[in-house]
Structure 1
Amino acid sequence: MEFMARATALVGAAMVLARRAAAPRDQAVGGAPQIPQARAQGIMTLKMPTAQGWAPGQVPKAAAGLKVNAFATDLLHPRWIEVLPNGDVLVAEALQQAGPPKSLMDRAVQATMRRARAIGKSANRITLWRDADGDGVAETRKVFVEDQRQPFGMALVNGTFYVGNTDGIVAFDCAEGADRLEGPGRKLVDFKPGGHWTRSLIASPDGRYLYAGVGSLSNIGDEGMEAEEGRAAIWRLDLQTGEAGIFASGLRNPVGTAWEPQTGALWTVVNERDGLGDETPPDYLTHVEEGGFYGWPYCYWGQIVDDRVPQDPQLVARAITPDYALGGHTASLGLCWMPEGTLPGFGAGMVIGQHGSWNRSTLSGYKLIFVPFEGGKPSGPPRDILWGFLSEDEKVSYGRPVGVAVGADGRSLLMADDVGDVIWRVTAA
């Protein structure tokens, strides 16, 4: 079996080279992206860099006028960040866990992901980091809560701390200034684990609702749509009544969420399907409408039909076209609203942590970007804030961007790097 898995990987590598020669030169980005015609790959392109981490003194590259330093180090696959009102920074440390491979392709994928540090043993904890002296480096580290099930999203609302575990939302009583939670917590909502495992959380501005991103089990409903029930959606939990249900659907893997303050709309970044080409379809940033359907798995970018999937014409007809394309397979995960004045040279807009591709012949993502907003909508091309997470030959990754948050001081950004095992802090130079 091991020989066959290696043979599959070698065949895949040869296909990467062939597909790279025909890859589109430009990324599908913006409100009116040029999306190449779909070309079903058969054997999917499989390409990921080897995870190396950062050498001593090595840091990402920052845009002009900015500097970057390590706020916290020696973590174990940090994925998500929550900044508490008192300035403490919580970090969810978790990792995808591999199930039994179902095919030779699964074996090749898992071997590649292990090399990229994308699967393995999960820490299953949330740590608290405190920068008491305000020098931009946390000097205190404590375990805030442990023994969770792949924790990811976090939210503190009216004295209750909520954790988005892969199998549901758990609530803990949390006193003001607490640096550790006790007890098992209270399970409020059940989610199906497996597949896209992250469960981001965000509270409504009035504290009434909690929204959770729940990704699909598979690429395009490969195990049937019954297995996808309750997935590929953003859920809403009413914290007063305890009622929970799907707020919006057809979102293959909605991860980061953020509120746009001018319109009050909820926005999310979504990882689209694989196996149709380097830029087809693009990942995207979009506003989220209550009851809205965004296409998965039947179609993408509005009504572009995926003919690999048994169709539902009624759902295709009402699929909402996303607002803003982010390029194919960038794995845009982290998202936060950045107010004007946070970083010099950047106005108000959305900051996005792009974890980086695996289903492309030429790698994409692996950077922290900014999308400017005006009038409640994206208003221009994306700009890089941090890059340099990937070697020039695409063979090695020093880090991979994930969650992002505005620092407690309002003049910095914090970004989780799950290969570098570090939280980076971006400020004015």
Structure 2
Amino acid sequence: MFYLRYTALLPALGLLAACSSGPSKEEKQQAQADNPAQTITTPKAETVHLPAPYTTKSVTHRVDVIDWPAGKTPTAPAGFTVSEFAGNLESPRWAYVAPNGDVLVAEAATLPKGTKKQIAATLHLDKSRSLQRTSANRITLFRDTNGDGRPDLRTVFMSGLNQPFGMLVLGTAFYVANTDGVLKFPYQPGATSITAKGQKILDLPEGGYNNHWTRNLYPSADGKKILVTVGSGSNVMEHGPANELRRANILEINLDGTGEKVYASGLRNPIGLAWNPVTKALWAAVNERDELGDELVPDYITSVKQGGFYGWPYAYYGPNEDPRRKGERPDLVQKAIVPDVPMGPHVAALGLTFYDKKAFPAKYQNGAFVGEHGSWNRTAYSGYQVAFVPFQDGKPAGKPEPFLTGFLVGDGSDKAYGRPVGVVTLPDGALLVTDDAGNKLWRVSATKAAAATAAPTSPSVASR
């Protein structure tokens, strides 16, 4: 009865369409006049070509995720082996490697808010598997005791959480970032579970635009502070400024949750954080805004200046004013920092890790791996891969290139096997990738021949 009652209403509901009705023809023409196509030089001297807003129509184009065929894996370049580290998870979005080598995986999903999305989730209408009716809300522990690259132990580390994402071990404390706050628990190295009641040390604004419910945690360089990411509550502040309080920021707190400061702002949805192993500067992966067309705005990774402003919602990719916020804050538009590395429009850059091991060939050492979850609002799919950005002497030394592919079925199909999110480096030098739509963890290792060419590097340490 439920299905029959609502099926006839689905076309009118526009269940998974973009949230706004879009600008008028006159507004588009004015926006293009005010923001013509531009060529931008990034801080690392890369040329970025940006079209005018609304050069192409904003579309909704979601993939249809199907199960991975038996024995099929993503594809890595020659010299690498891809294997399934674990399967049968429930939306494994983020991974963290504890100091003792344990792999902790946060299993949590985007939950429906509002009647339309609740119906869509109940009827499994979101073929991209981004929207789920329930969330596992747990952290699962994997332990490889014999070093063969496969976990010998798999157990529930924590449960009963509220859309957990970021995880962090500092000393005798384990921190978890729920969507509504940061929790602190007592931690013993080697423990296979935590059952003690945690202390909520920081309240955070809950939920957010699309997948902006995720909150990541990362230690300061000296381990005395914690960085907390909080994505925006909207696409481009269409719900008003009150809805964006403390959002679109990287926050900094003391280990007990006190002393909150804004480390950097104007970052629409910062997720992956990592310290550059050479320059020691903080870097972040950031999702940019929607509904300006196929080629706007590039998602990016960038070094993050403390106190820096990166544009959202008033400007994008430097001082390019968003036509939907025209004339509101020209001072902030001019203040917006140009990011370092464009990853491409709508790729949904989420995971970020610098490869600081020696097992991969020298080309990859000290470079960055970026998990691209994939587009939902671009005519031709983009993302759906783990990209690699080469670095030299701590600076980007080339354009992003595909590294782990094969998540899309390809050949014009609208189907995908999975969607990569988090990327972390394992103690043995392999790369671990979370696939939240495919419900798997993928391990990428260098073959013996490739590993033999992985000459040690001794990069010079540059100033910040």
**Which residue of 177, 183, 186 maps to 2:196?**
183
Q: Kindly name which structure, 1 or 2, has the bigger radius of gyration based on alpha carbons.
A: 2
Runs of 4+ in 1 over 3 A off after TM superposition: 1-5, 7-13, 28-31, 106-113
TM-score (norm 2): 0.84
- Give the residue type in structure 1 aligned to 2:80: L
How well do the aligned residues superpose, as a CA RMSD in angstroms? 2.6
Structure 2 counterpart SS, 1:315:
helix
**Which residue of 45, 53, 56 maps to 2:70?**
56
**Which residue of 393, 401, 409 maps to 2:420?**
401
Preserved contact between residue 408 and residue 418 of structure 2 (Cα < 8 Å): yes
Structure 2 counterpart SS, 1:188:
strand
**Which residue of 111, 136, 147 maps to 2:149?**
136
Q: Which residue of 1 aligns with 2:301?
A: 285
Query: How many Å separate the matches in 1 of 2:173 and 2:17?
Result: 48
Q: Which residue of 2 aligns with 1:274?
A: 290
Give 1:112 shift.
Answer: 8.6
Q: Which residue of 1 aligns with 2:346?
A: 329
Unaligned runs of 5+ in 1: 14-23
Q: Which residue of 1 aligns with 2:460?
A: none
- Give the residue type in structure 2 aligned to 1:398: Y
Q: Does 1:79 align with 2:93?
A: yes
Q: Does 1:228 align with 2:244?
A: yes
Question: Matches of residues 228-377 of structure 1 in structure 2 within 5 Å?
Answer: 228-239=244-255, 242-310=258-326, 311-339=328-356, 341-344=358-361, 345-377=363-395
Structure 2 counterpart SS, 1:317:
helix
Give 1:340 shift.
Answer: 5.6
Q: Which residue of 1 aligns with 2:110?
A: 96
Structure 1 counterpart SS, 2:347:
coil
Give 1:242 shift.
Answer: 2.4
Give 1:376 shift.
Answer: 2.4
Preserved contact between residue 56 and residue 294 of structure 2 (Cα < 8 Å): no
**Which residue of 364, 384, 391 maps to 2:409?**
391
Structure 1 counterpart SS, 2:370:
strand
**Which residue of 3, 7, 11 maps to 1:6?**
11
Unaligned runs of 5+ in 2: 1-5, 19-36, 448-464
Preserved contact between residue 75 and residue 421 of structure 1 (Cα < 8 Å): yes
What is the number of residues matched between the two proteins?
Answer: 412
**Which residue of 109, 119, 127 maps to 1:115?**
127
**Which residue of 48, 51, 69 maps to 1:33?**
48
Preserved contact between residue 170 and residue 189 of structure 1 (Cα < 8 Å): yes
Preserved contact between residue 390 and residue 398 of structure 1 (Cα < 8 Å): yes
- Specify whether residues 77 and 102 from structure 1 end up closer, same or farther in structure 2 by C-alpha distance, changes over 3 A only: closer
Preserved contact between residue 51 and residue 295 of structure 2 (Cα < 8 Å): yes
Give 1:10 shift.
Answer: 11
- Tell me which of the two structures has the higher relative contact order, counting C-alpha pairs closer than 8 angstroms and 6 or more residues apart: 1
Q: Does 1:213 align with 2:250?
A: no
Q: Does 1:197 align with 2:213?
A: yes
Of stretches 225-234 and 374-383 in structure 1, the one that deviates more from structure 2 is: 374-383
Give 1:384 shift.
Answer: 1.8
Identical columns (%): 44
- Specify whether residues 241 and 127 from structure 1 end up closer, same or farther in structure 2 by C-alpha distance, changes over 3 A only: closer
Give 1:86 shift.
Answer: 1.7
TM-score (norm 1): 0.90
Q: Which residue of 1 aligns with 2:458?
A: none
Give 1:240 shift.
Answer: 6.2
